[in-house]
């Protein structure tokens, strides 16, 4: 039997962006519970940039990308045929569905799972094949380019701001690295539940876009000594939640910015360095320090809802055709772009 073929971007060895090359590979065939999705748009995550450079464990030769929107073009025997033609985003984690984490709705914690593009085929291709339950319908009014951001960075922001930090109306949320791809979406997600958002950025250039994302207050802090300013602007109350996208060189100030019983959510590890904490401060203010990562299935649905209602507007820095993926990687590595780089069209 002749296997159908498809175009895909792969890399033979770790290295600079130009290791990414368009090739032809076998098109995956859906099993009984799977759907075949024709990929319309795929986001480039900074995670992909690290993977390509060999800075994250994994093998060369795979198809990267876990931020995928497209259309179901074929369905396995056990999938309702009516799903063919549906516009979907792909929940990026192929989860077991039966472990205690999956059953409690925390597919992000499933230890018997893998993320698309990290093992097996990802988004830098014409097609992807996934279990039908991983294909989440895109609501009306959300285009494919925007939908590609639903899993990550918007879903990731939903997990951190609404899931882990449990932000509610009137809470003061401090966002560090606010001008980055995560920060700009976290601001909007926090505003969607009527929180008061204070954004910190080290760059004057980013202040405008941070304000445009909806931050109530913007602190431009070149020396990253922002806690006194947070203290002043909150009438010495401090922040109820800190979304820490930077950590290296900011963590101490984030702790000092905390209100009583605040939660500090650790998302960033840019410097990959150890940080010091002042236990006295953590005890005195009853600060909770916690990590956050991938969106859950429900977070992705929430992200799509926020896109559909317009509460969150996707920050898209550039749209490039798939064969120019190496250009996109270089732009991200050089930090030449604010917002997501999305691949669309061949």
- Choosing from 42, 69, 110, 190, the residue that interacts with Zn ion (CB under 5 A) is 110
Residue 295 has which token pair?
């969106």
What is the pairing mode between strands 239-244 and 172-175? parallel
For residue 212, the surrounding DSSP H or E stretch is: helix 207-212
Considering beta carbons, is residue 67 or 253 the nearer one to Zn ion? 67
- Choosing from 84, 99, 311, 320, the residue that interacts with Zn ion (CB under 5 A) is 99
- Choosing from 152, 210, 243, 306, the residue that interacts with Zn ion (CB under 5 A) is 152
Residue 284 has which token pair?
């005195």
CB of 153 to Zn ion, least distance (A): 7
- Counting residues that bind Zn ion (by CB under 5 A) gives 7
In 3D, which of 191, 76, 71 has the Cα closest to residue 132? 76
Question: Residue 45 interacts with Zn ion (CB under 5 A)?
Answer: yes
DSSP 134: G
Question: Residue 162 interacts with Zn ion (CB under 5 A)?
Answer: no
Question: Residue 342 interacts with Zn ion (CB under 5 A)?
Answer: no
CB of 293 to Zn ion, least distance (A): 10
Does residue 126 come out as left (phi exceeding 0), alpha (psi in the -120 to 50 range) or beta? alpha
Which range binds Zn ion by CB under 5 A, 39-47, 73-81, 247-255, 261-269?
39-47
Ramachandran angles phi, psi of 93, nearest 5°: -100, 120
CB of 211 to Zn ion, least distance (A): 25
Question: Residue 68 interacts with Zn ion (CB under 5 A)?
Answer: no
Considering beta carbons, is residue 73 or 99 the nearer one to Zn ion? 99
Which range binds Zn ion by CB under 5 A, 80-88, 149-157, 221-229, 284-292?
149-157
CB of 99 to Zn ion, least distance (A): 3
Please list the alpha-helical segments (H only) found in 125-195.
Answer: 144-147, 155-158, 181-191
Residue 102 has which token pair?
């999956």
For residue 8, the surrounding DSSP H or E stretch is: strand 5-11
Does residue 323 come out as left (phi exceeding 0), alpha (psi in the -120 to 50 range) or beta? alpha
- Choosing from 35, 102, 209, 230, the residue that interacts with Zn ion (CB under 5 A) is 102
CB atoms within 10 A of CB 57: 7
CB of 245 to Zn ion, least distance (A): 14
Considering beta carbons, is residue 102 or 230 the nearer one to Zn ion? 102
Binding stretches for Zn ion (CB under 5 A): 45, 95-96, 99, 102, 110, 152
């Amino acid at each position: 039997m002749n296997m159908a073929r498809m175009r895909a971007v792969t890399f033979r060895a770790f290295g600079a962006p130009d290791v990414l090359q368009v090739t032809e590979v076998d098109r995956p065939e859906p099993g009984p519970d799977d759907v075949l999705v024709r990929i319309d748009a795929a986001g480039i995550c900074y995670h992909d940039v690290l993977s390509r450079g060999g800075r994250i464990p994994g093998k060369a030769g795979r198809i990267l990308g876990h931020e995928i929107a497209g259309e179901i073009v074929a369905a396995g025997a056990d999938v309702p045929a009516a799903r063919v033609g549906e516009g979907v985003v792909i929940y990026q984690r192929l989860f077991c569905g039966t472990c205690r984490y999956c059953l409690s709705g925390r597919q992000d914690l499933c230890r018997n799972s893998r993320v698309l593009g990290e093992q097996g085929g990802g988004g830098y291709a014409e097609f992807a094949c996934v279990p039908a339950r991983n294909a989440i319908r895109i609501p009306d009014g959300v285009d494919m380019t925007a939908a590609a951001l639903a899993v990550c960075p918007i879903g990731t922001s939903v997990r951190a701001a609404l899931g882990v930090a449990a932000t509610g109306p009137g809470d003061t949320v401090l966002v560090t690295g606010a001008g980055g791809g995560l920060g700009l979406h976290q601001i909007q997600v926090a505003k969607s539940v009527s929180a008061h958002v204070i954004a910190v950025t080290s760059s004057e250039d980013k202040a405008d876009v941070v304000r445009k994302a909806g931050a109530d207050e913007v602190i431009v802090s070149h020396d990253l000594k922002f806690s006194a300013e947070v203290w002043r602007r909150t009438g010495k109350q401090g922040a109820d939640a800190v979304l820490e996208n930077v950590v290296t060189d900011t963590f101490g100030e984030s702790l000092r910015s905390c209100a009583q019983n605040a939660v500090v959510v650790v998302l960033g590890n840019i410097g990959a360095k150890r940080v010091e904490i002042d236990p006295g401060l953590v005890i005195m203010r009853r600060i909770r320090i916690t990590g956050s990562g991938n969106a859950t299935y429900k977070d992705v649905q929430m992200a799509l809802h926020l896109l559909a209602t317009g509460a969150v507007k996707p920050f898209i820095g550039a749209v490039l055709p798939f064969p120019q993926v190496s250009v996109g990687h270089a732009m991200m590595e050089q930090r030449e772009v604010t917002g997501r780089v999305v691949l669309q069209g061949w």
